[in-house]
Structure 1
């Protein structure tokens, strides 16, 4: 029991809460001094009975409304929330974000006022009570102390009888600080915790982060997956024809070098986004303007691509978001062909009309090529891309061929 009480009064948490309260007292000090200066300057304090204690209390009462007004500043919750989390050890969730709503600002103002008031009380007790208790303890040794400290004169008749009071004054800051700190820790989640508007904003931020991470994962799968598939097929073909067709091997190695370089650039770009190193893209974002290069790399990997654009110059006028996602859809389709079908003819049709972009990609189904377990992420990612754009997506076998089809509306995209 004694050990538990000692920990509550002198433990690390108690010491941190005392520091937190003293900081609150420091925040109150300029407001209190300003109010006291006004009282003194206007001469009002001379008409107050029991001065100066009453004038101090009146100055405190005048200062608190200005403390509350200061607490309405949005950044107050940022500072107070951070200090409370580190020093106060609150019993629940505390935010250190600016207070954006009126309810959050009112709560932050109430907390700021209570923190300053409780801190002022604890700081005052910490500064006044221990020295007063020390004077009472030393009074039996030196009666002259009563001449220096006039308030101690009643204790000169029986100084030893005042010794327990002296000890109590020296120890008084401990229970006062512990009680005030525990009280602030209980109300911190109420006043500095998330409001319903804060919870909604945090949920939206989490949803945005998850959506961005999902998009980055899709880009990484499509770009690097397609590149590795192309590199693997080209390397295998070059190995088979190493002795018979050196010219083809040289072209394959050049294509492997170009594909690997592009893949490394995109990988570095994606990693930069994940690390939040820059708010802007560190590398050009591919779009249908790069479709010719994608088709050339796929052909170099052995797939015979038959490309049809209707109209031929329509892709240049597409919204950037649609063009980027359409490129990734085609890239994933080509990657699936290289991984699962190999060197087969591929038909790709892109049509613009009736306010939508239609992508149709098909290839013969090759039943002899080995399949890899654990796949399917690419098609799921493609379906997510199309769903974000409010389009429709289908993929599957039909009439002996694999068909991938996406229809994306052109309206409503930035």
Structure 2
């Protein structure tokens, strides 16, 4: 029984009822203009159900009407912040699933909107009649029970018209329960139809999917940027601070503090640039570093006590922007990986740009106790992801007794 009574405790049941009843306004207006002096059945049908149809079709062909109906449907047909009764895990439904709030962009959408308006008018008129009739029956039963059958409550139960007065008292809740059951059924029906008639077109669904994909890609790119820049800065700071404390040399400590300050400054610039992208404030931000700035990475590594042998060949300063920027981040992550996992070990760096291919090769001695593995964290995975997005490939792992990170990126 609670399962059947649960819809009666949900606010969305009554917002749906109100939404459907609003559709009765068009029928009531047409019926009033048409005139029903004798209230014949044919007049009721013509006034409430026939005359409003052309008006609904004409209104549905207006592009802005689809937006208005979509907003109403989302607000009143589906649970949301306004429908507190839908807070349960088994009752909650998505707020307006598949209901578009964009104006009609094609004749298909206009026709579907027109059909929705006609359906809403017809359902509203029918619901208005049922509501009026059953409410009247309830009031008649209450009056008959209170006056001990001085009035005839048998509006739709003529067989009980001659029964004792207490039968009317027992039947008072019946019309209300029938009405609420009818309202719940109509509300579910209108919510289901709204998703079909007011739902986005295939082109809109594809556009929304593409926009969502772009957002996810942008979020992943920003996450990689933060991981690379801040992770590198923190790693350099930790290594420099540890080396300065172990050396106990004032001159070395000054150099370490200077390196930490410089690294932190660049990290704050990267962070500010990413935050500007997230805020979309339109202010010019600092350009992302490229492989032309690779000397800065190598100097940071050297000041951390790492012996770096670097060899750069080819026109590195004239590489395509995306390749040069992503190549810088890959080199940064490779050096950060050395500092974090191998410590102060010799590193050989080769950067070559020739024959339409950019090659990055970073090798370092692989100490057994602190050896990184091929199942590295998000940094190495980020290198492989960046290379794949640029149409290249990356290999990370042990190679001839060393740890090797090799990246090949096409320049075309």
TM-score (norm 2): 0.71
Equivalent-residue separation in structure 2 for 1:235 and 1:107 (angstroms): 68
The answer for the alignment partner of 1:220 in structure 2 is: 226
| SS of equivalent residue, structure 1 residue 343 | coil
The structure 2 residue matched to 1:291, chosen from 294, 303, 306, is 294
CA contact (8 A) 1:307 1:349 kept: yes
**Shift in Å at residue 61 of structure 1?**
3.0
Question: 1:199-348 alignment to 2 at 5 Å?
Answer: 204=210, 207-242=213-248, 245-264=249-268, 266=270, 277-278=279-280, 284=286, 286-288=288-290, 289-311=292-314, 314-315=316-317, 317-348=318-349
Equivalent-residue separation in structure 2 for 1:70 and 1:36 (angstroms): 24
**CA 84–136 in structure 1, closer or farther in 2 if over 3 Å, else same:** closer
CA contact (8 A) 2:228 2:329 kept: yes
The answer for the alignment partner of 1:60 in structure 2 is: 52
CA contact (8 A) 1:74 1:98 kept: yes
Equivalent-residue separation in structure 1 for 2:276 and 2:322 (angstroms): 20
**CA 342–283 in structure 1, closer or farther in 2 if over 3 Å, else same:** farther
The answer for the alignment partner of 2:184 in structure 1 is: 178
Equivalent-residue separation in structure 2 for 1:367 and 1:169 (angstroms): 84
| SS of equivalent residue, structure 1 residue 85 | coil
Question: 1:37-116 alignment to 2 at 5 Å?
Answer: 53=44, 54-66=46-58, 68-69=60-61, 73=66, 76-86=69-79, 94-98=97-101, 110-111=115-116, 113-116=118-121
Q: Return 5+ residue gaps in structure 1 as ranges.
A: 147-151
The structure 1 residue matched to 2:22, chosen from 22, 26, 30, is 26
The answer for the alignment partner of 1:149 in structure 2 is: none
**Shift in Å at residue 386 of structure 1?**
0.7
Equivalent-residue separation in structure 2 for 1:362 and 1:68 (angstroms): 65
The answer for the alignment partner of 2:9 in structure 1 is: 12
Cα offsets for 1:103-133 (capped at 9, x unmatched):
6776566455434532343245435652575
Q: Return 5+ residue gaps in structure 2 as ranges.
A: none
Equivalent-residue separation in structure 1 for 2:168 and 2:53 (angstroms): 33
The answer for the alignment partner of 1:117 in structure 2 is: 122
CA contact (8 A) 1:306 1:347 kept: yes
**CA 401–4 in structure 1, closer or farther in 2 if over 3 Å, else same:** closer
**CA 247–195 in structure 1, closer or farther in 2 if over 3 Å, else same:** same
**CA 264–28 in structure 1, closer or farther in 2 if over 3 Å, else same:** farther
CA contact (8 A) 1:22 1:119 kept: no
| SS of equivalent residue, structure 1 residue 375 | coil
| SS of equivalent residue, structure 2 residue 337 | helix
Tell me the C-alpha RMSD between the 2 structures. 4.7
Equivalent-residue separation in structure 1 for 2:184 and 2:368 (angstroms): 76
The answer for the alignment partner of 1:359 in structure 2 is: 359
Equivalent-residue separation in structure 1 for 2:182 and 2:391 (angstroms): 61
**Shift in Å at residue 252 of structure 1?**
0.4
Equivalent-residue separation in structure 1 for 2:235 and 2:139 (angstroms): 83
CA contact (8 A) 2:302 2:308 kept: yes
**CA 270–230 in structure 1, closer or farther in 2 if over 3 Å, else same:** same
Equivalent-residue separation in structure 2 for 1:131 and 1:359 (angstroms): 85
**Shift in Å at residue 26 of structure 1?**
1.9
**Shift in Å at residue 285 of structure 1?**
5.2
| SS of equivalent residue, structure 2 residue 359 | strand
Question: 1:135-214 alignment to 2 at 5 Å?
Answer: 138=143, 173-185=179-191, 187=193, 190-191=196-197, 204=210, 207-214=213-220
Matched, 1:134 2:139: yes
| SS of equivalent residue, structure 1 residue 286 | coil
**Shift in Å at residue 355 of structure 1?**
3.6
Greater helix share, 1 or 2? 1
TM-score (norm 1): 0.70
CA contact (8 A) 1:28 1:117 kept: yes
Equivalent-residue separation in structure 2 for 1:370 and 1:169 (angstroms): 79
Equivalent-residue separation in structure 2 for 1:90 and 1:284 (angstroms): 46
**Shift in Å at residue 334 of structure 1?**
1.4
**CA 33–121 in structure 1, closer or farther in 2 if over 3 Å, else same:** closer
**CA 105–67 in structure 1, closer or farther in 2 if over 3 Å, else same:** closer
